[in-house]
Structure 1
Amino acid sequence: MKKLFILLIVSLISLYPIHSFADMAEGDMIVTLGANLTEEQKESLLTEMGAPSDVQIVTVTNQEEHQYLGKYVANSLIGTKAISSSAITIAPKGAGITVKTKNINWVTDEMYVNALITAGVKDANIYITAPISVSGTAALTGIIKAYEISADKTIPEEVKQAANQEMVETAKLGDSIGDKNAAALIAKVKEEIAKNKPKNDAELKSIIEQAAKDLNVTLSDAEMNRLIDFFNKLKDLNIDWNQVSDQLNKAKDRISKYLQSEEGQGFLEKLKQFFIWLIDAIKSIFS
């Protein structure tokens, strides 16, 4: 009887094979939803993401968010509820990472890209959202969790911690030197570390100072010390620096291609017209 039962189970498995996330192909999507979302909010976000009806959903808890962020950011910023959500779509091999956000008010798209590259994420289109305006710090936890499933790989805990720390440090730095400058500075330093791994604090400080000089920003002593501490931790981790460099280059290529595209040129023209209008408006005040 037992043998008959086993044969029946084997037959059923062969008829209905279990889907493996390692089989995810280009265009496939996996979604993360905060555990504290209402059913109505979940449905609304899934519609917003354009998720298919059979999309795989990964739930992220507030406990997990605190696990990865508690060391780097105030508990009040993480909150007591998990509501940040995301959709990760597998991109073509070699495409790099793109990030778009909605209702995220502190962490920028570029900050997510930088942190995800550190975590080892590659070739993915990521959409991050929430039903209300949130800082966005907790979203990274879910994205990394979903990527591990979709890519069928385990990202070391210390690398996850480093990615979350990087995101928070960049956001804090953005409060003083501007979001774009902060993200660019972190990317520049990582790119240089990938090329020439610094041997000591003096070399690392020199790399950071040069990146700041290139961006025409000034770092306080406290900011410099925080960055040295962070990058020292980063360079000693088991990170594929060749992949980091490759993904950073792809991110830069995407920006360049966008600016050269018709859409990008249209954006620049609108920006130019805005500044012309602004200058004329200022002139009219004093005329």
Structure 2
Amino acid sequence: MKNIKFWGVFTLVILTAFSLIAPLQVSADAIEGETVVTLGKDLTGTQRDQILNEMGVDPNGNAVKVIEVTNQEEHQYLGSYLSKDVIGQRAISSAKITLTSSNKGISVKTNNITTITPSMYANAAITAGIKDADIYVTAPFKVSGTAGLTGIIKAFETATGQKIDENKKQVANEEIVRTQDLSQQIGDPNKAVQFINEVKKQISEEKPKNPEEFRDIIINVSNDFNINLNEQTINEMTQFAQHFSELGIDWDQISQQFENLRGDIKNILDSEKTQGIIDTIFEWLGELFDSIGELFTSASSRQ
């Protein structure tokens, strides 16, 4: 009788353990061609129809799943990095995701998005864990696009049936904000994206241990790209770098997504890194020739 009770309890424990673990491991298979649209909840009826028509989606059809993104969700993921006034009180920006074949990478296009570029969305989406998808972000009128990532992530989760880790969502949205801030400071959105990408790569490879080491990476990368950062930006970037590091992302696991980026965003990410290095080399050569010129001038004056 004791043995029966023992095995009964043992079986119950095992079943309970599997019931807790299984939901974390089981998810719907991603289906190539699966499309999900997220609409800003505060769009008017006319604007909703306009957006769906722009996306080529039949509002009365069942082929594409349409869900909503609320202003509350936008505040949830952006509230730590932007003021309430900046985020606003309406959810307007909308997104469409279509899953592609494995290892095809990410493609991003936008419309009426003024400050967040396709490469910014792509970079942050990869941080969040999004892969192999065609992404389209739009609005019925000009908007900054900062909240667009919320819709992208929600659409991807719905399309794949896979829940993205909340910490990844937070860091990806922080990345969007920090990249936009840097873009405005240096006046070059493409260079800002490449800077962020290089920071993430070095963090993954060097595995800094304390705030000073994270700060050193930020400063060293800014020097490599000939970018002058103010103290506030350095501090914000250092904080972002620490948050990214805490995700424990293996750079090798996501580098394939960067290799498979499609369209202009791949060219931007490739060319900007090269251009940054070239700019640094020319600056160094300029300083060298100036020094040589000063040397000859000094020698002539002594003759």
Q: What is residue 65 of structure 1 aligned with on the other side?
A: 74
From 184, 189, 194, the equivalent of 1:179 is 189
Distance 1:253 1:108, change over 3 A: closer
How far apart, in 1, do the equivalents of 2:126 and 2:53 lie? Answer: 28
Matches within 5 A, 1:1-287: 22-51=28-57, 54-177=63-186, 178-251=188-261, 255=265
Query: For residues 255 and 38 of structure 1, do their structure 2 counterparts lie closer, same or farther at Cα, with a shift above 3 Å needed?
Result: closer
CA deviation digits over 1:219-265, x for unaligned, max 9? 112211111111111101243543332223333897567999xxxxx
Preserved CA contact (<8 Å) 1:112 1:140 = yes
Query: How many correspondences in the alignment?
Result: 240
AA of the residue aligned to 1:211: V
Displacement of 1:25 in angstroms is 2.2
Q: 1:214 to 1:34 in 2, by over 3 A?
A: same
SS at match of 2:261: helix
TM-score (norm 1): 0.77
Q: Partners in 1 of 2:264 and 2:192 — Cα distance?
A: 19
Q: Secondary structure in 2 aligned to 1:133?
A: strand
Q: Summarize the Cα distance change of 1:219–1:76 in structure 2 as closer, same or farther, 3 Å threshold.
A: same
Encode CA deviations 1:179-224: one digit per residue, 9 max, x unaligned. 1121110011112223332233343333323322232211112211
Distance 1:259 1:189 in 2: 13
Q: CA RMSD in A?
A: 2.4
- 1:120 and 1:239 in contact (8 A); partners too: no
Q: Which has the larger radius of gyration?
A: 2
**Take 1:112 and 1:224, find their aligned partners in 2: how far apart are those partners?**
22
Distance 2:247 2:55 in 1: 34
| TM-score for both structures, normalised by structure 2 | 0.73
Query: Could you tell me which amino acid in structure 2 is paired with residue 93 of structure 1?
Result: S
Q: Answer whether contact 1:98 1:251 (CA < 8 A) is retained.
A: yes
Relative distance call for 1:23 and 1:233 in structure 2 (3 A) is closer
Point out where structure 2 has 5 or more consecutive residues left out of the alignment.
Answer: 1-26, 271-303
Task: Please identify runs of 4+ aligned residues in structure 1 that moved more than 6 A.
Answer: 257-260
- How far residue 163 of structure 1 moved from its aligned partner, in angstroms, is 0.9
In structure 2, C-alpha distance between the alignment counterparts of 1:94 and 1:209, rounded to whole Å? 33
Percent identical pairs in the alignment equals 46
CA distance in structure 2 between the aligned counterparts of 1:224 and 1:213, rounded to whole angstroms:
12
Shifted more, 118-127 versus 48-57: the winner is 48-57
Do 2:95 and 2:136's aligned partners in 1 also have CA atoms closer than 8 Å?
A: yes
Greater shift in the superposed pair: 247-256 or 60-69: 247-256
C-alpha spacing 1:78/1:159, structure 2 compared with 1 (3 Å): same
Structure 1: unaligned runs, 5 residues or longer:
1-20, 261-287
Tell me the distance in 2 between the aligned counterparts of 1:245 and 1:106.
25
Q: Could you tell me how far apart the structure 2 residues matched to 1:258 and 1:225 are?
A: 26
